[in-house]
Structure 1
Amino acid sequence: MSIAEIFEFLRAVDTELYYYIKKFGILIYFLLFAVVFTKTAFVVLTFLPGDSLVFASGALAALDKLDIIPLFVLYFIATTLADSNNYFIGRLFGRVPQEKSLLFRFISSDVLTRAKTFIEDYDRVALTFSRFIPLMRTMTPFMSGFTQYPYKKFVRYNVAGALLWTFVWLFSGYALGNIPWVADNLMFTLLLISAVVLIPTIYAYVKQMAKNRKLA
């Protein structure tokens, strides 16, 4: 693939997935893994398709164009490894002395302190459900590493979040993706599913916030 073809693939893979399945055959599984991994593994690549790509994969699996089980395994592994990669990048940046860190030129130490407090106070909610919020899905692993949040705790919530995210989007696509109304209103459908998933997240956040206030 040329550079132009790669950019075109990244731009259209979620909306033109069936075309790429026919073009690449079995290699499409590797390419889907690479896109999902790259999206979260590096903060600057958050613009790559994620939710819509997994949803579309599920829809095509329902039509027997893809195999649902390998998709689930590959997406789960991709998301888990990507978040860990992002975590360790953040951890590396966090060990650089403040006066030498480029990050501190753009983010104040006060903001980083608040981020650390947030992750420590709401770790279970933030690390498990942040993948459903576009910007937080890449920033939360990075900031967890940057603030030196314990990796053993991080990976536990990371695995839970990866399982939940993969299951929700892949099987939502499998069940709903070929309904004409859903196909015609894909963005609204994705937002609606995200909102439904985030309801328990908001509840858990409010509950934890009330608990922290009582302890203060």
Structure 2
Amino acid sequence: MDYNQLAVNLLDAKSLVASVGAIGILAIIFAETGLLIGFFFPGDSLLILAGVAASSAAEKVLGEGARMPIAMLLIGAPIAAIAGAQLGHLIGAKVGPRMFDKPDSKIFRRDFVVKAEEYFDKFGPAKAVVMARFIPVVRTFLNPVAGTLEMPARTFFVWNVVGAVLWTETMLLIGYFFGDAMAPVIDKYLLPAMALIILISISPIIIEVIRERRKKKAGVAADEHEPVSSGRHRKG
């Protein structure tokens, strides 16, 4: 293996899948969700291309001998994602306050805690943990922040499992079932395809934001209506 080439292609999901194999993919999923510094890994596109690598389109996309066992991916990926997130939560619970309170920290800043608190307040801890799985970077940092905010380990574990299974299995199966259809266009339209993948990944949060805005508009309309009614009553 050319480690210099691998280092250059860390952000390239196709190169990663072709270079590291199934075990390497599972290790990257663990690192992205648990080691904090792994936030730059392309988790969504990596899982989808891993699914393609397990499909009949594997050799068309990645070359001869690139086929991966789908059973290993479907079992191993959620386990790696769960284990990584639990490690992140543990790190946050043990050293989170010291880690986030460093004023000169380049990666771990206090505003991560503030934003996570707002995220938790808006959606609730359970929904926040599940939805974060589908949002790049957030799925890395939310885990230690959840530990820092003292989210109970047992509660975190339950929703961590739900989110990890939904995320990994959805992405893998998209690649597996649509591998043949994606194969002719992956090289030519890789960037648009990745943009579409990211859009699919963040669609849960988009839906929730739209719902929250509709609720707020409905609440504002109700508030505006009541003063008018009260004013007319006073005038009468």
* TM-score, normalised via structure 1 length: 0.76
Residue type at the aligned position of 2:23: F
Give the structure 2 partner of residue 132 of structure 1. Answer: 134
2:189 maps to amino acid:
N
The one-letter amino acid paired with 2:27 is A
Which residue is 1:29 aligned to? 22
Matching residue of 1:88 = 90
The range that moved more, 130-139 or 177-186, is 177-186
Note the C-alpha offset of 1:118: 2.7
Residue 40 of structure 2 is aligned with which of 47, 51, 64?
47
Change in 2 beyond 3 A, CA 1:142/1:62: same
Percent identity between the aligned chains? 25
Please list the CA deviations of residues 159-183 of structure 1 after superposition, one character each: whole Å capped at 9, or x if unmatched.
1111111122111111223331244
State which drifts further: 73-82 or 60-69: 60-69
Gaps of 5+ in 2: 59-66, 220-236
Partner of residue 159, structure 1: 161
Match of 2:203 among 184, 199, 202: 199
C-alpha RMSD of matched pairs (Å): 3.1
Aligned position for 2:101 = 103
Change (3 A) 1:117 1:14: same
Alignment counterpart, residue 61 of structure 1, candidates 50, 54, 66: 54
Report the count of equivalent residues: 201
> Which of 171, 180, 183 does residue 169 from structure 1 map onto?
171
Tell which deviates more after alignment, 183-192 or 156-165.
183-192
Given that 1:124 and 1:157 are in contact with CA atoms closer than 8 Å, whether structure 2 keeps it comes out as: yes
Larger radius of gyration: 2
CA deviation digits over 1:38-72, x for unaligned, max 9?
12211122122322221111112112711111111
Instruction: Give the conservation status (yes or no) of the 8 Å contact 1:15–1:56.
Output: no
Unaligned runs of 5+ in 1: 22-27
